[in-house]
Amino acid sequence: MSAERSTIKERAKEALKDDYLRGAVKSTTDRLRTNKLASQEALGNWEWWRERGRQIRAHVVANLDYYLSQLAENVRQNGGHIYFCETGHEAVKQVIEIAKRVKARSVVKSKSMVSEELHLNHALEQEGIEAVETDLGEYIIQLAKEGPSHIIAPSIHKNRHQVAELFAETDGKEFIPSDTQTLTAFARAKLREKFMTGEIGVTGCNFAIAETGSVCLFTNEGNGRMVTSLPKVHIAIMGMERILPTVEDLEVMMNLLPRAGTGQKLTSYVSIITGPRKSGEVDGPEEFHLLVVDNGRSEILEDEDFRQVLHCIRCGACLNVCPVYRQIGGHAYGWVYPGPIGAVITPLLNERNDQYQDLPYASSLCAACYEACPVKIPLHDLLVKLRARNVEKGRTSRWEKLSFRMYRHAFRSPKRYRVAIRLASRLQKPFLRHGFIQAQLPILNGWTGARDLRGFSGESFRDRWKTLQNVLEKDKG
């Protein structure tokens, strides 16, 4: 189903029919969530770390101009180049200009959700430049011609048997064993050749450090190190908010992000890259370019209601606990960022596109995402504010408008309220079975389509109170 032509409800219905997807997502998110709980307990005083993380991110976002300026100055002092790109189009254009200047025909990539946001791979292909994802999960979904389904586990929706079929098809073979050792060896052999021949390395950036002009990558496969050291040119792409003031602040995030995302005490690799290779160094790129991408983030920054969403450190913890994401996976959200954080940031980054404005309704508002967030972003509150904004902008259906007008009319008057309850109690009788409405009624289909709805009681509390009051008065007498 095309995301451009469908609603979140339609895409969710399609996802719910896929038992493989639901099983794979549930299994992995269960494991990640359990690992997180054990890891944060081992760290001790998790709430102190969360609060410290929130303070750092809030301070950065409140002083973003200052720290971006400091970062730019230090990147240049280190011999690197920095570009501030107002739109995604500007960022893509800059990457292609660099590629053309150095006459590159191949790009190896690692860990960049922002480049997914910019559709960079497609743009490079249009220029005849091969772009290869080297994170195993990203490599799998690139072969499958799909987008990421999770922020840190992009192929979470596929089990190993599906991956084996995909690898066999890619290699022109009838069968490849589905054990993880064979699958890893297959990917390693294919990607090693790409690492050795890649002319440009493109990475994301978990955090940029303003005081040193460095970019930092958290990885588990070592490919980030290969992508940033073997090609002659390294291009790092970051959202403008992904910055920390000091290395000391990075230490806090090194404790929070891996534990919240995968339950690891520390990722297998932490790479801190400070400019191009210096004289006397044995590896590293000859050129280093840092692209700082706005692409709608400034508008979020100016909005006091939603500024907090820029605190996000992209750990994916909110996805692993979300009862909606755990059932439908990431593709149903229709854009790059899935789960609760996607349901907030996607409508904001695509403010002028009505296509994504139904995402805030993909939530039960249970607040599990807030409890899981390592920097305490109140995503459930932001989802409610987005829904309110949809109402203000007239994005709600006529049925919803009519329902809430009737609700307001009834609840403004005790007399009208009593009449409405009695009327509803009578109208429900043809559909009532053992105290529940089991029929699929069009106006209540959002609930009755998947579960039974408890009916109104035949006797309201107000009516019951009259009887109880008479009994109490008799007892007193």
CB distance 216 to 205 below 8 Å = yes
- Nearest Cα to 244, choosing from 234, 235, 254? 254
Neighbouring CB atoms inside 10 A of 407's CB total 11
∠ CA 206-209-214, nearest 5°, is 85
With residue 95 as reference, give the H or E element that holds it: helix 88-101
Q: Which of helix, strand or coil describes residue 216?
A: strand
CA distance 82 to 70: 12
Q: Which of helix, strand or coil describes residue 106?
A: strand
CA distance 23 to 364: 21
What does each of the 477 residues of the chain score in pLDDT, given as a tens digit? 555 668 999 999 999 999 989 999 999 999 999 999 999 999 999 999 999 999 999 999 999 999 999 999 999 999 999 999 999 999 999 999 999 999 999 999 997 899 999 999 999 999 999 999 999 999 999 999 999 999 999 999 998 999 999 999 998 988 899 999 999 999 999 999 999 999 999 999 999 999 999 999 999 998 999 999 999 999 999 999 999 999 999 999 999 999 999 999 999 999 999 999 999 888 899 999 999 999 999 999 999 999 999 999 999 999 999 999 999 999 999 999 999 999 999 999 999 888 999 999 999 999 999 999 999 999 999 999 999 999 999 888 888 888 888 899 999 998 998 888 888 888 888 888 888 887 777 777 777 777 788 888 777 788 888 888 888 888 876
DSSP string, 343-361: HHHHHHHTTT-GGGTTGGG
Token reading at 466: 């009259």
CB-based contacts of 82-87 (< 8 A; 24+ apart in sequence): 82/289, 82/290, 82/291, 82/292, 83/289, 83/290, 83/291, 83/292, 84/240, 84/292, 84/294, 85/291, 85/292, 85/293, 85/294, 85/295, 86/294, 86/295, 87/294, 87/295
Sort strands 106-110 and 200-203 into parallel, antiparallel or unpaired. Answer: parallel
Is the Cα dihedral 235, 121, 183, 321 positive or negative?
positive
Q: Which residues 6+ apart lie within 8 Å of 180 measured at CB? A: 160
Instruction: Please compute Rg for the chain using Cα positions.
Output: 26
Burial class of residue 38 in the structure, from the number of CB atoms within 10 Å of its CB (0-12 exposed, 13-18 middle, 19+ buried)? exposed
With residue 453 as reference, give the H or E element that holds it: strand 453-454
Q: Which of helix, strand or coil describes residue 237?
A: strand
